[in-house]
Amino acid sequence: RSVAFPTVTFFDVGQGDAAALRSGQRTMIVDGGRDGRLLPLLADRGIRRIDAIVLTHAHPDHCGALPQLIEQFEVGRLWITPRRFTGDCADRLLAACTRSNTPIHFVRDGTTFDVGAFHLTALLADTTFRRAPENNASAVLRAETNGRRFLLTGDIEKEAELVLADRDLRADVLKVAHHGSRGPTSDATLDSIAPRIAVISCGRRNLFGHPHPSVLERLRERRIRTWRTDRDGTVSIEVREGRLVAGPDF
């Protein structure tokens, strides 16, 4: 029920995204994957109370499990972005919050959170995009603890990357955008972030060809240690007195 060091865990939930930021007994969930496989992964780790959930955007592969999670776990609050928050999953999520009396808050550009030793800042592009508007409306989260940074990029595409290019995106760990698809994670973006570790959340033998070979090549060229949930399973990264310790979940 408690972790000794601040830890970010990227869960193997198939073709989707789900991560947990844990510090002591405090837990924040960022996205929940498509189906219910996240719930037993949390229960196996002794997590029954979640201080906050952040939904980067309302696509089913990020949102699908959250209604069930909210109804079965004790959840302090849900954070959503009001932009492009539509569809069946969004409706089910709002209904689950109503039934469970879970407070809902809006994530806006510059919103900050604190979860134990983690300090998080939300970065949102202020543009409505014609192409992939839901993906490009994803909330990007920069999490800092003990001098180390994690950048969780949701499903932003190259258009949102360009808009956010003037922000301070430097991070030690990058959650690669949109499951490693071809559009985002450009050379310029990687040079701006300059990560030491990258994590790609994607499903085994997925139909989309994620991660794209061009993205993997850009990561290799920069000697960025890359973990993939389709091959490595659930991956955790601890911050031990400023050092990063990464590997299959321990």
Q: What is the mean pLDDT of residues 49-66?
A: 97
| Two structure tokens written together for 117 | 């030793």
Q: How many beta carbons lie within 10 A of that of residue 104, not counting itself?
A: 12
Q: What is the mean pLDDT of residues 6-19?
A: 97
Can you tell me the distance from the alpha carbon of 87 to that of 136, in angstroms, rounded to the nearest whole number? 16
Does residue 109 contact residue 82 with C-beta atoms inside 8 Å?
no
| % of the chain residues with pLDDT over 90 | 89
**From residue 181, how far is each of 199, 227, 232, 247 by CA, in Å?**
13, 15, 18, 23
3-class DSSP state for residue 209? coil
Instruction: Look at residue 179 in the predicted model and tell me its pLDDT.
Output: 96
Does residue 40 contact residue 32 with C-beta atoms inside 8 Å?
no
Question: 9 pLDDT exceeds 90?
Answer: yes
> For 73-105, how does the pLDDT look when each residue is reduced to its tens digit (9 = 90+)?
999 999 999 888 989 999 999 999 999 999 999
Q: What is the mean pLDDT of residues 13-27?
A: 97
Can you tell me the distance from the alpha carbon of 126 to that of 160, in angstroms, rounded to the nearest whole number? 9
133-138 contact pairs (CB < 8 A, 24+): 133/84, 134/57, 134/58, 134/59, 134/84, 135/57, 135/59, 135/160, 135/178, 136/160, 137/57, 137/81, 137/83, 137/84, 138/56, 138/57, 138/81
> For 183-210, how does the pLDDT look when each residue is reduced to its tens digit (9 = 90+)?
999 999 999 999 999 999 999 988 888 9
Instruction: Look at residue 250 in the predicted model and tell me its pLDDT.
Output: 54
Instruction: Look at residue 187 in the predicted model and tell me its pLDDT.
Output: 96
| Report field, pTM of the whole predicted structure over 0.75 | yes
Q: Is the peptide bond before 211 cis (omega within 30 degrees of 0)?
A: yes
Instruction: Look at residue 207 in the predicted model and tell me its pLDDT.
Output: 87
18 — pLDDT class (breaks 50, 70, 90):
very high
> For 93-139, how does the pLDDT look when each residue is reduced to its tens digit (9 = 90+)?
999 999 999 999 999 999 999 999 999 999 998 888 888 889 999 99
10 has which bridge partners? 19, 235
Considering the chain, what is the average pLDDT of its residues?
95
